[in-house]
Amino acid sequence: MSATIYDVAREAGVSMATVSRVVNGNPNVKPTTRKKVSEAIKRLGYRPNAVARGLASKKTTTVGVIIPDISSVYFSELARGIEDIATMYKYNIILCNSDQNKDKEIHLIQTLLGKQVDGIVFMGGKIDPEHIEEFKQSNVPFVLASTVDEQHEIPSVNIDYEQAVFEVISKLIESGNQHVGFINGPVDVPINGKYKLNGYKAALKSHHIPFEETLVTEGDYTYESGKEATSQFLSQEIKPTAIFVDSDEMAIGAIHEIQDEGLKVPEDIEVVSSENTRLVQMVRPTLTSIAEPTYDIGAVAMRLLTKLMNNEKVESITVVLPHRIDERKSTK
């Protein structure tokens, strides 16, 4: 067995309260006794038991992170942002994959709360009343990262997806494209089905271009689905001369499908993507993309959570990070 605070106290000839004080850096300890205790600690190889500490103090310095899929490039960059800031503030993270499945999500929240995490960063698709209920019932703060709560009740960190898509589509139209295709992500998640789609429609409208049902489709973020959607576009009567794709992986699929059909990007068809992961550099032509600050979304979300856990004042519960559009070789 490893040494306990009691062993250290005995070894150093002081009470456990004093040991606790030096372990926790409490200044009310005479330097000489501090030294005595420190030596006893070293001699015994004492390491504080965080579980006991958590039970007594009701703080675990651990936060829960619920993420759809850590093996996705996009989410793993987000996760890295979260973890870096967590580390900076001395928190550890319990990482859970939800696969965007609501039952799993609810179950994970329960498990994490049972483990007494001090807060939770949640990434998911659709937030519905059942989620909100869980968030509110719990007595620890939640922050949504890259996930929107349409009611703006829950703290969240995002970019303005609608605006970003509006800009991209407008640019494409203004540079002469009358038929702009849109390969969206699953539309049951509001970011896609609502905000991004709205941005797309708004851009068309403001340029007096009629909305064409067949130019909008849905993929599942895989390379293959991007390829298939593009294949469908190319076989239609109304073919797009530019395609906006909701993920880098799908966008690479789109480019390859276009090239496989003997067409050129961007000469024949322009392609714009939406995540700006490292992948954009790894395809020829390199991908123009909405530059979503993925890492930063995670980092800012975690930072916001630390404030909430600390009962610090926060200016705004809903933070919207700026985005850019990084132009590369897949557009003219």
Residues of this chain that interact with DNA (CB under 7 A) are: 1, 4-6, 13-18, 20-21, 23-24, 27-30, 32-34, 46, 48-49, 52-53, 55-58
Q: Is 278 in the site for a copy of itself (CB under 8 A)?
A: yes
- Contacted entry of DNA, a copy of itself, none for residue 13, CB cut-off 5 to 8 Å set by kind: DNA
Kindly indicate which of the ranges 34-42, 50-58, 187-195, 324-332 contains the residues binding a copy of itself, using the contact rule CB under 8 A. 50-58
- Amino acid letter, residue 41: I
Directed axis angle between helix 5-12 and helix 31-44, to 10°?
120
Q: Is 223 in the site for a copy of itself (CB under 8 A)?
A: yes
Kindly indicate which of the ranges 77-85, 163-171, 175-183, 233-241 contains the residues binding a copy of itself, using the contact rule CB under 8 A. 77-85
In the complex, the smallest distance separating the C-beta of residue 218 from a copy of itself, rounded to whole angstroms, is 20
Find, among 252, 247, 323, 322, the residue nearest to 281 by Cα.
252
- Contacted entry of a copy of itself, DNA, none for residue 6, CB cut-off 5 to 8 Å set by kind: DNA
Find, among 253, 275, 270, the residue nearest to 324 by Cα.
275
- Interface with a copy of itself: number of residues (CB under 8 A): 53
- 61 and 118 in contact (C-beta within 8 Å)? yes
How large is the C-alpha radius of gyration of the chain?
25
Q: Is 157 in the site for a copy of itself (CB under 8 A)?
A: no
Distance CA 301, CA 89 (A): 13
- Of positions 20, 38, 76, 241, contacts a copy of itself by CB under 8 A: 76
In the structure encoding, which two tokens stand for residue 296, read together? 């930063």
Find, among 147, 141, 93, 79, the residue nearest to 306 by Cα.
141
Cross-strand pairs, 64: 94, 120
Query: Toward a copy of itself, which CB reaches closer, 23 or 29?
Result: 23
Distance CA 332, CA 327 (A): 9
- Amino acid letter, residue 210: P
Contacts with a copy of itself, 10-49, as mask; x by CB under 8 A: -----------------------------------x-xxx
Query: Toward DNA, which CB reaches closer, 21 or 126?
Result: 21
Q: Is 62 in the site for a copy of itself (CB under 8 A)?
A: yes
Q: Is 60 in the site for a copy of itself (CB under 8 A)?
A: yes
List of residues 6+ apart from 68 with CB closer than 8 A = 75, 97, 98, 99, 100, 123, 124, 125
Please report where in the chains the tokens 């630390």 appear, as a residue.
Answer: 306
Distance CA 293, CA 159 (A): 8
In the complex, the smallest distance separating the C-beta of residue 51 from a copy of itself, rounded to whole angstroms, is 5
Query: Toward a copy of itself, which CB reaches closer, 173 or 297?
Result: 297
In the structure encoding, which two tokens stand for residue 155, read together? 């703290």
In the complex, the smallest distance separating the C-beta of residue 63 from a copy of itself, rounded to whole angstroms, is 10
DSSP of 223-292, one letter per residue? HHHHHHHHHHHHTSSS--SEEEESSHHHHHHHHHHHHHTT--TTTT-EEEES---GGGGSSSSPPEEEE-
Q: Is 113 in the site for a copy of itself (CB under 8 A)?
A: yes
Interface with a copy of itself (CB under 8 A): 2, 45, 47-52, 54-55, 60, 62, 65, 69-73, 76-77, 79-80, 83-84, 87, 92-97, 110-116, 137, 139, 223, 249, 252-253, 256, 259, 278-279, 281-284, 295
